[in-house]
């Protein structure tokens, strides 16, 4: 990728510093990006839905509009909270122009009743971060199951697709970065 991105990542609520370290290390390899970690934000209780025991992802994402960061930077929030976005029962992440949010809650192998596996967990976190940042740059979902932009309906989709763009989405992301962020 010829152009260069700036990504500002911020923990939302308490987030394992190891996860933040993985993202700072892994994101530049796929998106040709500089990654800066911003100070943590509190997990806003106003977006917590007690009856679901989940946070409204879209509400948390909207709160990011108030954060001061370079205008050319993409913003990536990372939370350990379980998220939902109607009409879906849960989401791994959400995004809109320039901003993205991922949840690590359902990415941990232990959530699915299997033993902890840091390599699998790191792969999932990285994959979902790249996916949501792709949306933040303007990419839609892709129909190719091996592309990071493929919609993950369940964790198996995330495991299968991995963090790389297919050829077509890779070319689209290059153009988008050159036009708006490079």
Q: Residue 2: what pLDDT?
A: 41
Q: Given a cut of 60, is residue 181 above it in pLDDT?
A: no
Output the six-digit token pair for 126.
Answer: 């990285």
Half-sphere CA count of 16, side-chain side, radius 13 A:
14
* CA end-to-end span of the chain: 10
Of 132, 143, 174, 178, the catalytic one is 132
Cβ–Cβ under 8 Å, residues 88 and 54: no
Whether 69 shows a pLDDT value over 70: the answer reads: no
Give per-residue pLDDT as tens, 97-141.
Answer: 899 999 999 999 999 999 999 999 999 999 999 999 999 999 999
Q: What pLDDT band is residue 66 in, cutting at 50, 70 and 90? A: confident
* Per-residue pLDDT at 177: 79
Q: DSSP state, 180?
A: I
Nearest to 39 by CA among 76, 75, 70, 9: 9
List of domains in the chain: 5-181 (3.40.390.10)
pLDDT confidence of residue 178: 78
pLDDT at 71 over 80: no
Instruction: Check residue 180 and give its pLDDT.
Output: 62
Angle at 99 between CA 135 and CA 53, to 5 degrees: 95
Tens digit of each residue's pLDDT (9 = 90 or more) over 4-63: 689 999 999 999 999 999 999 999 988 888 999 999 999 999 999 999 999 999 999 998
Is residue 76 scored above 80 in pLDDT?
A: yes
Annotation says 128 is catalytic: no
Banded model confidence at residue 68, pLDDT cuts 50, 70, 90: low
Q: What is the pLDDT of residue 1?
A: 38
pLDDT at 182 over 80: no
């Amino acid at each position: 990728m010829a152009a260069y991105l700036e990504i500002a990542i911020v923990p939302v609520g308490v987030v394992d510093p190891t996860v933040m370290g993985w993202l700072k290390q892994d994101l530049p390899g796929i998106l040709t990006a500089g990654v800066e970690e911003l100070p943590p934000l509190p997990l806003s209780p106003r977006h917590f839905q007690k009856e679901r025991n989940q946070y409204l992802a879209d509400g948390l994402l909207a709160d990011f509009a108030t954060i001061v960061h370079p205008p050319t930077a993409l913003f990536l929030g990372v939370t350990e909270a379980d998220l939902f976005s109607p009409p879906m029962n849960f989401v791994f992440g959400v995004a809109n122009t320039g901003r993205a949010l991922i949840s690590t809650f359902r990415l941990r192998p232990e959530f699915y009743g299997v033993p902890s596996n840091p390599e699998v967990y790191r792969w999932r976190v990285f994959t979902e971060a790249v996916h949501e940042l792709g949306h933040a740059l303007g990419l839609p979902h892709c129909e190719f199951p091996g592309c990071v932009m493929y919609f993950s309906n369940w964790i198996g989709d995330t495991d299968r697709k991995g963090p790389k763009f297919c050829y077509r989405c890779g070319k689209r992301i290059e153009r988008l970065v050159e036009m708006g962020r490079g």
